[in-house]
Amino acid sequence: MTPLVELRGVDFAYPGSGTRRTRPFRLSEVSFEIAPGEILGVIGPNSAGKTTVIRLLSKVLEPLSGEILLEGKSLLTLTRWELARRVAVVPQDAPPAFPFTVEQLVLMGRYPHAPGRFFEGGEDLAIAREAMAATGVLGLAPCALESLSGGERQRATLARALAQQPRLLILDEPTAHLDLRYQAEVAGLLRRLNRERGVTILLVSHDLNLAAELSDRLLLLAEGRVARVGPPEEVLHESLLAKVYGCRVSVEKSPGSRLVVQVMWPEA
């Protein structure tokens, strides 16, 4: 089966990185695949390159060398809207600069499907409403985004991404700033989207337990390189995590056979 996404030896450095006051940062020789229908969790310490991977996959940035293929075709051959019909990104929560409503936000997800149109059509509205229903924000459709809670806004943004009808859904820290209830809600929603609609998901998270719980495979990045990729139980090793994160970590199987990663506090 052709992978949905394939990165082959991707190198990247930000312009001016490593000069003067910026810390040197490079993505080196990053290669991995995302199979259709899987959930891939991307984990790693701060500045390991997680967000850079998202930016490369959505062509906000282009690799210095190496290739990124989507369904076997180089990203460079796709226009921005062609790409946006296939890959949707849910960024970290940030309300827009103007008080758009939930419905207006979700309709923005229809832009790549008809970039030349001035107004969205009836079909766009139907798809947007369906996406809002899927993430449970249909009742909030006429509300301004800035009036919502962080969790509601996150689900609205997720609905916007679903309205793009993407094959790959990328989420950047989907549960950051959310309390436990919303975390559980978002996690359940992602699993449902994956199982019921077959949406392929790339999930970037600092929450190793959430990533392990949701993902079929984990990709561990460290200092711009792939440290390991595989099923959660192969990646979440105490010694590997301790080396990559630079702190003591315990990994245990909970009674529900979930993997539980815990930081061991340094002794006082």
Q: How far is CA 251 from the centre of its chain?
A: 24
Of 118-126, 131-139, 180-188, 197-205, which part binds other proteins (CB under 8 A)? Answer: 118-126
Question: Smallest distance, Å, CB 176 to other proteins?
Answer: 16
129 binding other proteins? (CB under 8 A): no
Taking the least distance from each CB to other proteins, the nearer of 26 and 85 is: 85
The nearest distance, CB 65 to other proteins, in angstroms, is 22
Q: What is the 3-state secondary structure (H, E, C) of the chain?
A: CCCCEEEEEEEEECCCCCCCCCCCCEEEEEEEEECCCCEEEEECCCCCCHHHHHHHHCCCCCCCEEEEEECCEEHHHCCHHHHHCCEEEECCCCCCCCCCEHHHHHHHCCHHHCCCCCCCCHHHHHHHHHHHHHCCCHHHCCCEHHHCCHHHHHHHHHHHHHHCCCCEEEEECCCCCCCHHHHHHHHHHHHHHHHHHCCEEEEECCCHHHHHHHCCEEEEEECCEEEEEECHHHHCCHHHHHHHHCCCEEEEECCCCCEEEEECCCCC
The stretch near other proteins (CB under 8 A) out of 62-70, 92-100, 193-201, 211-219 is 92-100
Q: Which is nearer to other proteins, 111 or 223 (CB)?
A: 111
User: Does 89 sit near other proteins (CB under 8 A)?
Assistant: yes
Q: Which range binds other proteins by CB under 8 A, 6-14, 21-29, 114-122, 226-234?
A: 114-122
Q: Which stretch binds other proteins (CB under 8 A): 88-96, 208-216, 224-232, 234-242?
A: 88-96
Decide: is 108 part of the binding site for other proteins (CB under 8 A). yes
Nearer to other proteins, 140 or 220 (CB): 140
Which residue from 41, 44, 63, 109 is in contact with other proteins, where contact means CB under 8 A? 109
Q: Which residues contact 230 (CB under 8 A, 6 or more apart)?
A: 217, 218
Contact range with other proteins by CB under 8 A, out of 18-26, 38-46, 87-95, 185-193 = 87-95
Q: Closest Cα partner for 135 from 109, 108, 113, 154?
A: 154
Q: Find the binding residues for other proteins in span 15-44 (CB under 8 A).
A: none
Closest approach, Cβ 136 to other proteins, in A, equals 21
Residues that bind other proteins (CB under 8 A): 55, 58-60, 79-85, 87-89, 91, 94, 96-101, 104-105, 108-109, 111-112, 115, 117-122, 125, 164
